[in-house]
Amino acid sequence: MPTLAAIVVHGQTTVTSGYQYQFTPKHHGADAKAAQWLPRLTLDDEFAVFNAADEHQLMDDSGSLYGLQREGHDGLRTIGTRSEQIAEFPHAREGEPWHGYPHYPLKELGHVERRGKRFPPPKEVFQRMVETGLISNAMKRRLMGGKHV
Amino acid sequence: MNNLPENGHALRPIVTSIPLPAGFEPTWAGPLAGHAFCIGSEDGRILFTNEIGKPMFGPTKASESGEAVNGVAMSGMWLATATRADVCFSPLARSEKGERESLVLPLGTHGIDATASGFFIAPLGQAGIMVASPPFTADGFITAYEPGKEGFYSYRAGCLRGANQTEVLITAGRLGGIGFTKFVGSDRQLVMTTATLEALDVVDFCPLFPGTESFALAVLGRDRRLLFIKDALTDKKPATFEFKTIEGVAYRVLSCRGDVYVATSKGLYMAANLATDFMNSRIGETINTQVLVMPMEIVDANLCGDEWLLAVTPDGVRRFDVHALHDSQPDDTQGAILRRVAESHAATSSKTLKFDEVMQNSSELALAG
């Protein structure tokens, strides 16, 4: 993935919901403090993660989507520069393009949580990943513990 | 897939299941003080059992966040429970008012360990390493050491204790390599030596001879490559091993009684006498190893002293008798489930191994009551 200087909107929309997706400079090299997509992931790869998240409805109760990509039979592809394996796509308002970034697996200092909202992704999203066959139950428990698979 | 026989040996069952209460979904299991086990659950609870799995205490909520437990450690009269969202420090004794209030560090870690000198140590990912010494108070602070170099991601941390009570802090730093530093506990700054091997994603390490004063250790890459080091402070030519028999995504490396265990997404593997043979080998010498294969899905695994290995599976917790595994014979294949494969490897060092020194400055983190 090249470093981006400006927002790029993908030419396709998601198959299930027809969502537009945009690639942001912030998560493509412009902000060293922000989560970064792994440079070897192409923009098409990134969109494929988003498309699959929409297809499988890996959504929390605030409408954010979570994506991942299988690697072999029992692993997940690393998608972020900090070894992240799950992507987070915050809910976008209707008609606006979505964006996303690799989800850091640990709660960090300064993480702001809305009252009653748990650290993402919630258990229900991991369970949905199991039900749709994207991960095994063993993988789910490792990911819920912030561990790699 | 988890169909290892419950009674693999007529006299010493190699593996038995630890019974768990209904609804208790284990994510971590390891040793508690003495001969007890601690098991953590998907919803932040812990359960103490004796060696045969009989509940002694709990299940009880141990994580404020209610997230999946990824590590539990004990130091003095304090218990620390780690999750991806917090670390909870709980006193084992009640206060004079009869209360037992936990203190919370609102930061996620990848696990937690306790040193022989009484510190809790936890890997904070890109934030570095947490070091904390009980007792804790509501207005207290905890020390965090920054990674010191870009790309060094603290994924597992622990200490080895050598002669004269010298301690060495070891950190698995993912693509940043493996880090070593002498550890005192009161230093404001650490000088860490890192060793990196091209594209080696370091996810775990273990002492080769736990319970001894040896600084020998095994380092595990996500791709199952192993790095063996005879002395963490002095050895600049570690040997690399890659066993064809070992498959899957590598999770844990453990060593006991001279045998090396690797837990992966495909199963548990025992490289018989590998630790002992490595220490007795010279550079370039061929080491012949029998690899015992135990296919199963694994969530996590830990040793409990030199008697038991606890493996968390999707079905529960399995207790392996490492004494019986160590003594099992090459022809004792126990049907088609356990098998042994012979492999030969030269104990050679990789030319792409690089050493570096980094400074790790500390900062203070506040606890919450």
Nearest-CA distance A91 → chain B (Å): 22
| A 130-149 → B contacts, CB under 8 A | 136-139, 141-142, 144-149
Q: Tell me how far apart the alpha carbons of residues B306 and B322 are, in angstroms, rounded to a whole number.
A: 7
Interface probe for A, chosen from B24, B25, B70, B298 (most Cβ of A below 10 Å), is: B70
**Does residue A17 sit within a domain?**
yes
Q: Decide if A105 touches B, using CB distance below 8 A.
A: yes
**Does residue A1 sit within a domain?**
no
**Does residue A99 sit within a domain?**
yes
Contact B86 A107 (CB under 8 A): yes
Contact A75 B300 (CB under 8 A): no
Could you tell me if A83 and B153 are in contact, meaning their C-beta atoms sit under 8 angstroms apart? yes
Tell me how crowded residue B199 is: count the other CB atoms within 10 A of its CB.
Answer: 11
pLDDT at B1: 43
**Does residue A84 sit within a domain?**
yes
Chain A residue closest to B69 (CA)? A145
The pLDDT confidence band at residue B97, using thresholds 50, 70 and 90, is confident
**Does residue A57 sit within a domain?**
yes
**Does residue A2 sit within a domain?**
no
The pLDDT confidence band at residue B13, using thresholds 50, 70 and 90, is confident
> What's the pLDDT tens digit per position in B152-172?
999 999 999 999 889 999 999
Tell me the mean pLDDT in the region A79-107. Answer: 97
**Does residue A37 sit within a domain?**
yes
Half-sphere exposure of B3 (CA within 13 A, CB side): 5
B332 Cβ neighbours under 8 A, 6+ residues apart: B9, B338
Could you tell me if A88 and A101 are in contact, meaning their C-beta atoms sit under 8 angstroms apart? yes
Q: What is the ipTM metric for this complex?
A: 0.95
Q: For chain A, what is the mean pLDDT?
A: 94
Q: Is the pLDDT of residue B148 over 60?
A: yes
Domain span at residue A100? 8-105+117-144
User: What pTM value is reported for the model?
Assistant: 0.95
pLDDT at B334: 57
Q: Among B85, B155, B265, select the one facing A149 at the smallest CB separation.
A: B265
**Does residue A49 sit within a domain?**
yes
Contact B314 A136 (CB under 8 A): yes
The pLDDT confidence band at residue B7, using thresholds 50, 70 and 90, is very low
pLDDT at B11: 58
* Chain A neighbors of B368, CB-CB under 8 A: none
Q: For chain B, what is the mean pLDDT?
A: 92
Domain count for chain A: 1
Q: Of A122-136, B98-112, B353-367, give the range with the top mean pLDDT.
A: A122-136
Contact A144 B28 (CB under 8 A): no
> What's the pLDDT tens digit per position in B332-345?
655 545 788 999 99
